[in-house]
Amino acid sequence: MNNSEKKSRLLPYIFAGFGVGILLVAFYFQFSKAKFEISDIYTDSSETGKYVFLFVETKSNKHNELLNWANDIKNSDDLLSMPDKTKPAILTVYFYNPNDTTELDEKTTNSLKERYSDKTDFTKKINYSPHGWQYIGHNDSSIEELPRDTVYKTYVFVPKTGYRAHEIIKQIY
């Protein structure tokens, strides 16, 4: 067998090796990078300002990653733009792992009912994530008591499947 025959026999193995290498690299980038998905959004614009609430599903619990995502969302989607620049615009993002949500226990349900006793019973429409994160951000330099961009670990209440955030938030406020 001459050299040219040896090279032609090796060619399929070389291409197969490149193909497998490309697939491995693609899988690495696909599964190593944490992801998020906006599951619901509620915007309230009134004479007092603009308030945007996002519910974001993610398996990440890394502070800096969540903060970067929230800042990217705030800046790229221009969610806080307002015609009247004298009014505040505030973004609240609730990060939660959908696999970590559960129905409200009796103690939490009773506590919410007590706190919002004059409201209709919204507790049947929400689930609870004990290991969630909340981001608060704004673009208003006049708001000094609220950090411009911050994320912290907290309990997160999220709409159950079949319900939307606006149905719940309007009942509370």
Answer whether 101's CB lies under 8 Å from 159's CB. Answer: no
Least confident of 46-50, 62-66, 68-72, 153-157: 46-50
Q: What is the pLDDT of residues 96-122, one digit of tens each?
A: 999 999 999 999 888 888 888 777 678
Structure token digits, residue 10: 């090796």
Structure token digits, residue 84: 């009247």
Closest among 126, 136, 123 to 94, alpha carbons compared? 136
Q: What's the rounded mean pLDDT across residues 59-81?
A: 84
Q: What is the pLDDT of residues 16-54, one digit of tens each?
A: 666 665 665 555 555 545 589 999 999 888 888 888 899
For the cut 90, the answer to whether the pLDDT of residue 126 exceeds it is yes
Residue 135, pLDDT score: 95
- For residue 151, what are the β-bridge partners? 135
Residue 137, pLDDT score: 87
Answer whether 129's CB lies under 8 Å from 155's CB. Answer: yes
Closest among 70, 68, 62 to 91, alpha carbons compared? 70
